[in-house]
Amino acid sequence: MKRSNSSQRGLGLGRKARNAARLLRNRLAMTSGEDAALSQIADVTRHVESFAAHTGKDPALSTVLEIGFGARPRRAFLLSGFFERVYAIDLDAPVLSLRDAARTWRKNGMERALKSAARHMLFDARDWPRFHETAKTALPNYAPDKVQFAVGSAGEQSVWNEIPPIDFAFSSDVFEHIEPGDLDRMLGLLRTNLASDGLVVTLPMVFTGILGGHDPAWTRWTADRMPADQAWRHLTDPEFAPDTYLNRLSRAQFADAFQQAGFEILKDHALLGRLGERHLTAEKRTALPLQDDYELFSNRVEFHLA
């Protein structure tokens, strides 16, 4: 089985510790409990409405797949409130209790397990009950127990053998972490297993956008007040190394990969628009390896594929 892509080998402990501290600060600044659940429900509802509008299908009679559910499969659980059948694939096993951390250690390595265990003790043990309570109130058909998880690479046929034909596929902040060859294989398998009138919604964090380097210091909330000389550093600094695997694909390369797999691109839209534009001076633009606004403002890009 492939190892987790959620951390990068070769980084020193000091850099990993700094990244972990920044991630902790980001997590502490985020909403939690009921507010976080309601925000996620609103986000999932928007995508379900896109599916229904495009296909004309009733979600309650349809099958959905999430690619990349992560250690906390909240979106997969929320999808159970809309769809008849819910499947989810990820390289990392979900961590819903401390007992799951031991399984994660065996399947995905020590670092992934320790991160998941720490997050569970600091946040999730308290947040999960509130999350489920809020979801049950907002979604009458909420049934997280019906979610079926497949742990493995979405680029391997054996993983798809567990999954029936699907009507809707969803993935957020995942495709940029998949090696290009695996991504092509995964897209081919997704195309084969998607209903002829189905829909795929994916939101990769594209490398060429200002947040594409996955530096935890740079977020949608902090980008405009960060030092201008550090903007798009991941495109100019040969020593830049994130604490996660990134395939470094551009927005145009993602679009080409989707089309090569046989998909039609129905939507290609940057939800965060021109985030960081104040940093893009004429001098900065000249120093960057590419000057195309389509790429530089690839901030939370939402693709719809059919």
Per residue in 190-246, pLDDT (tens digit) is 999 999 999 999 999 999 999 999 999 999 999 999 999 999 999 999 999 898 999
Partners of 287 in beta bridges: none
**Exposure b/e, 201-218, CB count within 10 A at least 16 = b:** bbbbbbbbbbbbbbbbbb
Between 181 and 14, the more confident residue is 181
Read off the pLDDT band of 124 (50, 70, 90). Answer: low
pLDDT attached to residue 79: 99
For the segment 245-258, what is each residue's pLDDT rounded down to a tens digit? Answer: 999 999 999 999 99
Share the mean pLDDT of the chain: 88
For the segment 289-298, what is each residue's pLDDT rounded down to a tens digit? Answer: 998 999 999 9
Between 263 and 21, the more confident residue is 263
- Residue found under tokens 């972990």: 20
For the segment 53-104, what is each residue's pLDDT rounded down to a tens digit? Answer: 999 999 999 999 999 998 789 999 999 999 999 999 999 888 776 666 666 6
Domains of the chain: 13-305 (3.40.50.150)
Read off the pLDDT band of 113 (50, 70, 90). Answer: low
Residue 262 confidence (pLDDT) above 90 = yes
DSSP 159-206: HHTT---EEEEEEES-GGGS-HHHHHHHHHHHHHHEEEEEEEEEE---
pLDDT attached to residue 45: 98
Nearest to 52 by CA among 66, 64, 69, 42: 64
Helices (H) and strands (E) in the chain, counts: 12, 7
**pTM for the predicted model, two decimal places:** 0.86
pLDDT attached to residue 107: 63
